[in-house]
Chains A and B, each alone.
Chain A
């Protein structure tokens, strides 16, 4: 069983990365891998509770909740980016721990596989 970290670094309006991350995460959970989610930079916008769909693109943020429901072990978010995007202290779609750069770096270094989206 591998420790897999999904790294979300782009907002939901930036292509299909969130959807691809969702698919990868569900596949990892189906094979009983230990899954963690880390949101950095503009990726923290995926945690915003208000809908943020762009024209022609679905907002996949709400669907990411399925990863928590299916057994994702940990959810972390870039504390600085949360502040920049007005999400510090806000209610988020997933119960994410705010992490500083050193803590995020540890999450990355201690994963077996990091999949960026």
Chain B
């Protein structure tokens, strides 16, 4: 707990697709520019350009640090090459490093 309140960083893990609930909308509402958002499980599909273009959340995704787990993309037959420009692919090692770099994590589902 060495970070001051203003410096603290949160990791927002989104596990439900936006067409199945408001998890992503709530994560975007509570994340600031320093925070990290990770799209996992069913939410991974929204990182693909085709899906992102279909949602009003596209602009919000581009304005924040948004990552997507490549393992969850692969499990759904989706490739990292099709990602929306605002989304960064994240492998397991990078996910662990990101979690360590953040002070607190919150899962939205």
Contact = CB atoms under 8 A, between A and B. Distances in A.
Interface string A87-110: 000000000000001001110111
B106 A41 contact: no
Contacts of A41: 22, 26
A111 to B, nearest CB: 6
Given A109-B5, A109-B9, A114 B31 contact: no
A9 interface: yes
A48 B22 CA distance: 21
Contacts of B95: none
Contact of A116 (B10, B31, B107): B107
A106 B106 contact: no
A108 B1 contact: no
Nearest to B107: A116
B104 A105 contact: no
Chain A interface helix/strand/loop/mixed: mixed
Interface string A33-59: 000000011000000000000000000
Contacts of B106: 7, 108, 114, 116
B8 interface: yes
Given A41-B22, A116-B109, A110 B8 contact: yes
B50 interface: no
Of A7, A109, A112, A114, most B-chain CB atoms within 10 Å: A109
Interface of A: 7, 9, 40-41, 101, 104-106, 108-114, 116
